[in-house]
A and B are shown apart, each in its own frame.
Chain A
Amino acid sequence: MVDPRISIIDGRLRGVKDIIVVSSGKGGVGKSLTASVLALILTRRGYKVGLLDLDFTSPSTHLILGVRGLNPTEDKGIIPVEVFGLRHMSIVYYTKDKSTSLRGEDLSNILTELLAVTGWGELDFLILDMPPGIGDTTLDVIKYISRSRFLLVATPSILAFSTVQKLVDLLKSQNITIIGVLENIGRSDTALAKHVRDIGVKYLGTIPFDDQIEGSIGNVDKLFNTEFASSIEKLVLPNILEAR
């Protein structure tokens, strides 16, 4: 028995120039916020951008962007939702944001299905928002999209670094490109920068706690005006554009 979905994944992503995976291993460090804001900033800069939410049990990019009342359409596959100038795809369009319990095999199947049937068209960047953990979804992204570049997010805690370090080991062992580690909800005096450099990974800088964020969730205009967004623009954007 052969699963035909696998062999079409490359073809489906042929028009996508660059795939950025926002990951951490650690939960709750700001991956989804980073992925969403980065997607918005690149879009405003004139790039064609897709945002794919791979957190199948707890998707959140649709909430951060404030997507309402839209659905993917069909044309020889699934065409993502067009919102704020970018193309957005999430399982939420099918679960209607209801509770969805999934085991590992289900997670793999959903990822394969989405990669095999979603028609992204021509994109400069496809941003993937990863779930917490270093499990099925991370392994599948490495397996099916080996040209991905990983942007890692950590908080100043040694607990976050300890997890990121494990992810770095995995990525290095598979020759996957690591853009760098972004410190979020950081202070200026943390040891993370040194830890990150010690394992041979680029440290991108630190984003402070931003008390404008909570009130900006779901409102793209407000999000653009946060300190968080200007930090992403300053710290992350050059590193993403540089290698192109």
Chain B
Amino acid sequence: MHEWALAEAVITTVEEIVEREKYEEVFEVSLTIGELQQIDTGIMKFALKHLKEGKLKKAKFSIKMHKASFKCNVCGNLWVFNKNKFNEEVSEAIHFIPEVSHTYIKCPKCKSPDFNIVEGRGLYIQKIRGRK
């Protein structure tokens, strides 16, 4: 699963931060995940739990989802992602590489494929709470 790759990336990065900022122990890590990423949070949490060790052993991982929205670069129209519009193959493709939404989504107003993903891509470490 792709979730495992992302979980591994999270753990590696948190470990780097722990090292750099000299944490003794981490209690909580807050993550935000964009809707376009269509992460299975169950699998993600399972993977994180499985991979955490050392100073992260007791850390709790909280995951917040961000709705995806787009802004057209041609007409300025703003709209939100509606995942029910796509079949499984397209959903899978967007799940792996959110930017391929440019292949399958067009501005509903002017039909341009030139839009920005305003929110809803990526996976970010928002906050780490722990003891130094």
Taking Cβ atoms with an 8 Å cutoff, the residues of A that contact B are 1-8, 11, 56, 74-78, 91, 94-96, 98-103, 105-106, 109-110, 113-114, 116-117, 119
Complex Cα gap A44–B130 (Å): 53
Determine if B103 and A1 form an interchain contact, defined as CB atoms under 8 angstroms apart: no
Chain B residue nearest in CB terms to A118: B5
Determine if A101 and B114 form an interchain contact, defined as CB atoms under 8 angstroms apart: yes
B125 contact set on A, CB distance < 8 A = 1-2, 4
Interchain CB contact (< 8 A) of B97 among A1, A7, A98, A110: A110
Determine if B12 and A77 form an interchain contact, defined as CB atoms under 8 angstroms apart: no
Contact A78:B2 (CB < 8 A) given known A3-B124, A106-B102: yes
Complex Cα gap A99–B111 (Å): 14
B9 contact set on A, CB distance < 8 A = 4-5, 7-8, 116
Can you name 6 extra interface pairs (CB under 8 A) apart from A95-B103, A99-B103, A109-B99? A4-B13, A56-B99, A76-B4, A96-B93, A102-B102, A109-B121
Determine if B113 and A99 form an interchain contact, defined as CB atoms under 8 angstroms apart: yes
A75 contact set on B, CB distance < 8 A = 1
Determine if A117 and B103 form an interchain contact, defined as CB atoms under 8 angstroms apart: no
Determine if B113 and A2 form an interchain contact, defined as CB atoms under 8 angstroms apart: no
Interchain CB contact (< 8 A) of A116 among B4, B5, B100, B102: B5
Determine if A4 and B12 form an interchain contact, defined as CB atoms under 8 angstroms apart: yes
Determine if B5 and A109 form an interchain contact, defined as CB atoms under 8 angstroms apart: no
Q: Can you offer 27 A-B residue contacts whose CB atoms are under 8 A?
A: A1-B124, A2-B13, A3-B123, A4-B6, A4-B10, A4-B12, A4-B123, A4-B125, A5-B123, A6-B13, A7-B9, A74-B1, A75-B1, A76-B4, A76-B5, A77-B2, A77-B5, A91-B97, A94-B100, A94-B103, A95-B103, A102-B102, A106-B102, A109-B121, A110-B97, A114-B97, A117-B5
Complex Cα gap A102–B113 (Å): 9
Complex Cα gap A110–B97 (Å): 6
Closest CB-CB distance, B123 to chain A, in whole Å? 6
Determine if B113 and A101 form an interchain contact, defined as CB atoms under 8 angstroms apart: yes
Chain A residue nearest in CB terms to B123: A4
Question: Which 3 interchain pairs have the tightest Cβ spacing?
Answer: A77-B5, A76-B4, A4-B13
Interchain CB contact (< 8 A) of A117 among B2, B12, B114, B122: B2
